[in-house]
Chain A
């Protein structure tokens, strides 16, 4: 009987707690798609110095001297990375970009400024799925496998840090690691690999909006681009539909300023984008990233699916026909047509599920669970996660899981409280 009372007490407590949580001030954008697109309203952004104030440089290293690249890709012979540094001994943070993002992505530039301002050196690495990394640093040319990508990243990071040391006379006290989205999954695998190699001995590893089961997240992202939109028939162009909305909005508003607060303005007007439209936009951005990945992986492995295998791509060669073809292949299609055939030939008798498992955080669960220096940050409405994925993060990281109710996929990363938490963890004294 006492047990029942306890349950009842818990029931009531639960009911009381929920409205209390909802009333708390916090990140204000409660629509996950809008949050992902607009990020944090300027007045709620954790302040960081402006770009020109940061002591920084874009540098490059040759990772794969034997790699042949056609003239059109010649600028990717060396792997570029971005370094922000101090003229005194400091910890160095590696930042790994997300799907289809490079070392120069604006989202990571913000994190760079925040970490640099907190007294750390920062090196930003391109995502192993980004075209420059595939060309310059992916040994197989086929990114998307947790362990292989971690090996490629780890050797590129070693070269970059040696290079930065000699170029800028960097003095490094210890190493830290953070990644966003797919870059967060990469960071977890790099930290895991480094435990064996004992090279960097990361004192802090932070996973920002990580996928848990990469291939589950991929299917969810692919699905976004197939969202049905009211008022757009199969004969209409979705982009035209969006541009017409924008044009009507500018006409109605008398159109003064095209940049400042564009999205906030339009979302409070009659031309506000619907959830379906925003989801499709996000899905479309990922589909273009998938097209880049398909094209680059195929080019490096000489598959001949998009650009003919024998042809030399010159600077003047039109890549448009190849883009047209690659646009038809989403992330799931990449897995099936390029990654799986290669992987299964090296892992005879194993299934697609085995391949998926090996690129999931579940496969390194005990490493993540028992390591007090690794934390994860995500949102309850991050659309790359399933309910199970979300629960996995909460349970595996326990107190080191920083969970927020709203923000979509990384929309709240610049928000005051969130950035405070990120810095508190990354700056934490060495245990």
Chain B
């Protein structure tokens, strides 16, 4: 009887000892993350398929043109735009580039404010007004984003978002030359934002830029410099389809904010 108990103990101990030996060797114990999930058998769950098929339904009546434009933008990016941006990065120290980004961002706070007001977002309008005041004065014409340091990061609002806020549908998908993904609504919005900046003539920036055409080049360089998207980075022959979906969804999120 006693020997049977010993034998039983021995078996238990051998089992435990095997895990103990692993622990002694410092080998972390295997854990199967799939064991905690409920996974349907094949041919039983088409959630991925039907969700993805639905995501591909986007109104794109001039798809052929858009795809050609998308390819053109990618080539332009590769051979002209990015090399220019890389040269810009090489010849300027980072604080200069940040200063340039901040100046243009400060100017953009004018349409940001106009659109926040147009959507009746009073608190956001207040924050953007404070940003404009702080950055234009203490921030020396916007070179320094001091407002961000005070806990007031930029809150972009464009006229496309304002239209979306009042229920205007996005309309057909468009790929704009050099600017990339857009929709009919957002393209209209861009034009309106541009004219808001014109009309506001904040800090006289437009006439200054018109007198110094190189500043438009700097504007274009900065536009690409602050955008981290790289053509080909989605690693898919279906990148056009994926970007189209992501653009529409990101805009929806921005409008809901």
B-contacting residues of A (Cβ < 8 Å)? Answer: 3-4, 7-8, 10-11, 13-15, 17-18, 21, 32-33, 52, 72-73, 75, 100-102, 104-106, 130-131, 220, 223-229, 232, 234, 237-240, 243, 246-247, 250-251, 255-258, 275-276, 279-280, 283-284, 287-289, 291-292, 295-296, 315-320, 323-324, 327-328, 332, 379-381, 383, 385-387, 390-391, 394, 403-405, 408
Contacts and interface: CB of A to CB of B under 8 A. Distances in A.
A380 B29 contact: yes
A4 B20 contact: no
B47 A229 contact: yes
Interface in B12-55: 13-14, 16-17, 19-21, 23-24, 26-34, 36-42, 44-55
A14 B48 contact: no
B13 A11 contact: yes
Contact of A228 (B39, B63, B90): B39
B256 interface: yes
A256 to B, nearest CB: 6
Main SS class of interface, B: helix
Given A240-B51, A279-B33, 12 more contacts: A10-B13, A32-B31, A52-B90, A226-B39, A250-B256, A315-B67, A315-B71, A316-B68, A317-B64, A327-B52, A381-B33, A383-B33
A10 B16 contact: yes
Nearest to A232: B47
Best-buried of B47, B54, B90, B238 by chain A (most CB within 10 Å): B47
B219 interface: no
Contact of B64 (A225, A247, A318): A318
Contacts of B71: 315
Given A8-B13, A284-B48, A316-B65, A250 B28 contact: no
Interface stretch (B110-118, B134-142, B158-166, B227-235): B227-235
Contacts of A280: 47-48
Contacts of A33: 33
Contact of A318 (B52, B53, B63): B63
Given A226-B44, A292-B237, A316-B65, A104 B232 contact: yes
A369 B122 CA distance: 67
For the complex of A and B, the 10 pairs showing the least CB-CB separation, nearest first, are A14-B20, A405-B28, A7-B13, A255-B257, A316-B64, A380-B28, A17-B23, A238-B51, A10-B17, A228-B38
Given A234-B50, A315-B71, A316-B64, A296 B237 contact: yes
B231 to A, nearest CB: 10
29 contacts: A7-B14, A11-B13, A32-B33, A52-B86, A100-B235, A227-B39, A227-B40, A234-B47, A240-B51, A240-B54, A243-B252, A247-B252, A250-B253, A250-B256, A287-B52, A291-B238, A292-B236, A292-B238, A315-B68, A316-B64, A319-B241, A320-B63, A324-B53, A327-B52, A327-B53, A381-B31, A383-B34, A394-B27, A403-B27
